[in-house]
Structures are given as C-alpha cells and as structure tokens.
C-alpha cells in the first residue's frame, strides 16, 4: 500500500549548519503518529521543510512524497494545492496565527474560498458548520466576532476549524496545547481525536510531552539532534523503550502515582548543531556508550515488527532494561 506521506533522507541545513540529518518516516491514511523530542531536535523543522515553509536560505535535500508524488521542491502552484488542501498545519500559538483586525467569518471564508469550490451563502454556511464542528457555542453569531473576543482554548478551536476548511487528509499539529491550561488541553486533545475519527484524517502530533503523545497516537517517533532514534507503536515504546535516549526521557518523567523515586536525569545537554560529535550524537550523554558509538552514526534498523532503533547498543540497552525490570 502506498503510504499517504513518505519522507526519505530529509536533510536541512541553515547557513551550512545541519539541523536535520536524514529523517525517514512514513504515514498511512488515517494514522496518528507522534513526534517527540526536546527543543532543537528537529520535530517542527521536519514538517516545515516537507511543506516548503522554511526560509529561502535553508538548504533542503531528500525526498517527500504525497500519494507517491514528490512534493519537495514542487512548483508553488502545486504546493498551494497541497498546503491547506491536502495537508494542514496548526501551531502552538494560535492567537498569532489569526489576523486581529478581521472577523472570524472573513478568515474562515478566506480559507474556504482558497480550497473549496463554494459560492455565496454556501461559504458562510460551511464556515458556520466548521465552527459548530469544533464546539464553538452559538456559532452563527460568533462568526462575526474578532479573535480577541475568544479565550485561548477557543482560538485554538478556531484554528482547527480553519485547518479543516480544506478537508485535509493530514493534519500536522505542532505543540497544539502547550500554551493552554491542563483542563483546556484535555478538551482540545479530545476534540482533535473526535475530528480525526469522524473525518478519517491522518495526524502528526508534535509535542515535547510524552504523555500527550502516548495517549493520542498509534505510533511514536523519538527525535534527537536532527534524527529519529526510535520508532515504535505507542504502548510498546512506553512499556519497553530500547534507545537509551528514549529510556532517559521516560525515566525523567516524574510519576503521578505509586512510590516516588529519584528521577533518572540524562546528564549533560543537547549537542550544539555546529559542533556535532562524530558517530552517535547521543553518545556523550549515554550511560551505555562503547567504542563503536564514536565510529559512525547508527542508522534506524528494524528490531521487531513495526519497530526500529538507531543504536549499536540496542541489544545491551534492552537487556539492561529487562534486568532492571526483573529486580
């Protein structure tokens, strides 16, 4: 089956400094994939590059295919059909993505006019239906309101409505709830999963919050320093992480119940992209580092059905984890 989107060996450099160092990921229709990693790991850049949204001075190479057709470096006219039409994106700070001096109706109708063949009253009716769909009460009247008249959670709902205007096959949600309070975050995540189920839409959820990704995605990819280091179904990744970095991330998360334990912090910090260590980028912080780690950067290799890890010490790391579990 042809994947909906497949990215192969995607590389991005800014002014000669590589920030994305060969990313491979594929998405099936209707699938929800999570992308986790710390700031600077390249989660957002991957999708901005794939959609041609990076500034001109970024050097991008590799291949991005939508339904088998290459879209990386495609002409603007073709990309305009893809962006907002086939693939839509929402961001962390919804308020800055809306124009403060235009009504919600104007902005929603603009998106509809661009991507849907609708005329006159049908546009307004559709805008109203979208607002209803994302749970804005009294949608008909609220269409005439301005962005500042809505709360933060409602503005993110409006952004979701705008993203849905083009009937996309894939929604890329880049930290959609990071700026929101916990109870509102739960509402927005619930909305996203309902919408996805109803419309059969695929979703990429980019987040630094492992819990958010675990609960809302079928599959998770962990990124570190511009590469995917582990890819697995959500439940397996959290129950049995293999890459030492993935293990570190999960160990660093304080538990909400059960006995309190000292957090297993990963020592050191993320390497500077301009001075990347030779070999595995995680090696300087890794507890299981061996001589082989400094030789070459490990490639993402399958270790089980639907699971792959980029670590030469994967076997050792896995045994170490099982050993801890057996104690």
Partner 1 sequence: MSPPLVEVSAISRTYAMRSGMFGRAAAVHAVDGVSLTIAKGQTLGLVGESGSGKSTTGRIVLGLEPPDSGEVRFDGKPMAAPGTTAWRAQRARMQMIFQDPLGALDRRLPVATQIREPLDIHGLGTPAARDERVRELLRAVELTPAHGARYPGALSGGQRQRIVLARALATKPDFLVCDEPVSALDVSIQAQVVNLLCDLQAQLSLTLLFISHDLRVVRQISNVVAVMYLGRIVEIGSADDLFARPEHPYTQALVSASPAPGRRSAGRILLSGDPPNPAARPTGCAFHPRCPRAIARCAREVPALSAVGGDRQVACHLVTGAATRDAA
- Closest listed residue to residue 145, CA positions, set 104, 100, 97: 104
Candidates 120, 255, 323, 325; binder of partner 1 (CB under 8 A) is: 255
Residue 264 sits in the site that holds partner 1 (CB under 8 A): yes
Tell the residue number behind the tokens 């896995």, with chain if given. Answer: 318
Q: What are phi and psi of 96, to 5 degrees?
A: -80, -10
CA–CA separation, 216 vs 192, rounded Å?
9
Residue 325 sits in the site that holds partner 1 (CB under 8 A): no
For the beta carbon of residue 260, count every other beta carbon within 10 angstroms: 8
Segment lying near partner 1 (by CB under 8 A), choices 73-81, 210-218, 296-304, 318-326: 210-218
> Are 130 and 108 within 8 A, CB to CB?
yes
Tell the residue number behind the tokens 């705008």, with chain if given. Answer: 162
Tell the residue number behind the tokens 């987040």, with chain if given. Answer: 207
Segment lying near partner 1 (by CB under 8 A), choices 16-24, 74-82, 163-171, 245-253: 245-253
Candidates 13, 26, 74, 184; binder of partner 1 (CB under 8 A) is: 184
Residue 271 DSSP label:
P
Task: Give the pair of three-digit tokens for residue 185.
Answer: 């975050």
List alpha helices for 22-179, DSSP H: 43-50, 76-82, 94-97, 104-115, 120-133, 139-142, 152-164
Segment lying near partner 1 (by CB under 8 A), choices 96-104, 139-147, 179-187, 297-305: 179-187
Residue 39 sits in the site that holds partner 1 (CB under 8 A): yes
Q: Which helix (H) or strand (E) holds 32?
A: strand 32-36
> Are 148 and 175 within 8 A, CB to CB?
no
Candidates 114, 270, 289, 320; binder of partner 1 (CB under 8 A) is: 270
Segment lying near partner 1 (by CB under 8 A), choices 5-13, 15-23, 69-77, 235-243: 235-243
Residue 275 sits in the site that holds partner 1 (CB under 8 A): no
Enumerate residues 6+ apart whose C-beta is below 8 A from 252: 263, 264, 265, 266
Residue 266 sits in the site that holds partner 1 (CB under 8 A): yes
138-167 binders of partner 1 (CB under 8 A): 151, 153-154
Burial of 265 by CB count in 10 Å (0-12 exposed, 13-18 middle, 19+ buried)? exposed
Least Å distance between CB 209 and partner 1?
7
Residue 181 sits in the site that holds partner 1 (CB under 8 A): yes
Candidates 113, 125, 253, 290; binder of partner 1 (CB under 8 A) is: 253
Candidates 239, 287, 295, 296; binder of partner 1 (CB under 8 A) is: 239
Burial of 151 by CB count in 10 Å (0-12 exposed, 13-18 middle, 19+ buried)? exposed
Segment lying near partner 1 (by CB under 8 A), choices 61-69, 71-79, 83-91, 251-259: 251-259
For partner 1, what does the binding mask look like between residues 94 and 133, x meaning CB under 8 A? ----------------------------------------
| Binding footprint of partner 1 on the chain (CB under 8 A) | 38-39, 151, 153-154, 181-187, 189-190, 193, 208-212, 214-216, 234-235, 238-239, 248-257, 260, 262-267, 269-270
């Amino acid at each position: 089956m042809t994947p909906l989107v497949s990215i192969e060996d995607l590389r991005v450099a800014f002014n000669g400094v590589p920030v994305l160092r060969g990313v491979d990921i594929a998405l099936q229709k209707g699938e929800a994939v999570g992308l986790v990693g710390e700031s600077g790991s390249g989660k957002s850049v991957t999708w901005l590059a794939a959609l041609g949204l990076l500034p001109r001075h970024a050097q991008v190479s590799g291949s991005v295919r939508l339904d088998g057709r290459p879209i990386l470096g495609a002409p603007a006219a073709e990309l305009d059909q893809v962006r907002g039409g086939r693939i839509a994106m929402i961001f962390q700070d919804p308020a800055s993505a809306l124009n403060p001096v235009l009504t919600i109706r104007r902005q929603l109708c603009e998106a509809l006019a661009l991507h849907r063949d609708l005329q006159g009253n049908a546009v307004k009716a559709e805008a109203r239906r979208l607002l209803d769909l994302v749970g804005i009460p009294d949608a008909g009247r609220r269409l005439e309101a301005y962005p500042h008249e809505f709360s933060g959670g409602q503005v993110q709902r409006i952004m979701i409505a705008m993203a849905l205007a083009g009937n996309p096959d894939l929604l890329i949600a880049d930290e959609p709830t990071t700026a929101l309070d916990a109870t509102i975050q739960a509402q927005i995540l619930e909305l996203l999963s309902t919408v996805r189920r109803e419309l059969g839409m695929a979703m990429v959820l980019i987040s630094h919050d492992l819990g958010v990704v675990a609960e809302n995605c079928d599959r998770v990819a962990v990124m570190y320093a511009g590469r995917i280091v582990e890819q697995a179904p959500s439940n397996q990744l959290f129950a049995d992480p293999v890459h030492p970095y993935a293990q570190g991330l999960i160990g660093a998360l304080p538990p909400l119940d059960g006995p309190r334990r000292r957090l297993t912090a990963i020592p050191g910090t993320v390497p500077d992209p301009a001075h990347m260590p030779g070999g595995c980028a995680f090696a300087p912080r890794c507890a299981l580092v061996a001589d082989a780690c400094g030789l070459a950067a490990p490639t993402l290799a399958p270790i089980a059905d639907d699971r792959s890890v980029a670590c030469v010490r994967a076997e050792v790391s896995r045994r170490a984890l099982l050993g801890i579990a057996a104690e």
